[in-house]
A = this chain, B = another copy of it.
């Protein structure tokens, strides 16, 4: 498939790498030409930093920040009015595209991207949506070249996954961050907690998280709860999280 890609951020970079394995990437667009060139060179594409320079293609993926999608989509639509345009956002509905642009869709990879880590695309759930039945086979076709796990969900369901991902990913990472602050204050190496973190995540993929909840709040162990809160007196933010999370875990596990 001939595809162009708009963006040079984390999602765009990971997408470019995996798309290039099976498809021809025609153009990579970024506002900063140097960034576009850097990425384009890796995937044998032509870098552009002016929308008018985009070559005709059947499919164009807009992998930019949520706030930028509306404006970028309008610009690309003006140059490629007949192109199937996709965005990659979990929290953005299909109506972000210009009203006049009928061939529109979503290709949302449910994964956390960073510049540092590789992604296992085959196991990454890809959520697709389009409002033209004609475009669905092509979108499905593209998605299945990237991942074994392709799902058709509507915008409300995709939004619930995006919100859930904030809890499962962003908030769990902040829990790790708070843990790191606690041990570092005692000159203890944070890496002692790695096996625990990995085992906890693994276990929650093997059983319902509610069933494998452990800890003092789950046990209703008031002595330990009081001891821990006394240790957090110098870290009021952490104390507040400890209090709220413990209270909710206790409520959820009342017999």
Which of A110, A178, A205 has the most B CB atoms < 10 Å from its CB? A178
Choose the segment among A20-28, A53-61, A151-159 that binds chain B (4+ C-beta atoms closer than 8 Å).
A151-159
Contact A204 B197 (CB under 8 A): yes
Give the interface SS of chain A, mostly helix, strand, loop or mixed: helix
Are A170 and B203 interface neighbours, CB within 8 A?
no
- Name which of A67, A209, A214 has the most chain B CB atoms within 10 A of its CB: A209
Bound Cα distance A123, B198 (Å) = 11
Contact of A66 among B117, B153, B221 (CB under 8 A): B221
Q: What's the least CB distance linking A127 to chain B, in Å?
A: 8
Within 8 A of B (CB), among A205-223: 205-210, 212-219, 221, 223
Q: How many copies does the complex hold?
A: 2
B192 touches A151 (CB 8 A): yes
Does A205 contact B215, Cβ atoms closer than 8 Å?
A: no
A-B contact pairs, 11 of them (CB 8 A): A110-B192, A119-B199, A161-B192, A164-B188, A165-B193, A166-B228, A166-B242, A167-B242, A169-B196, A169-B200, A173-B213
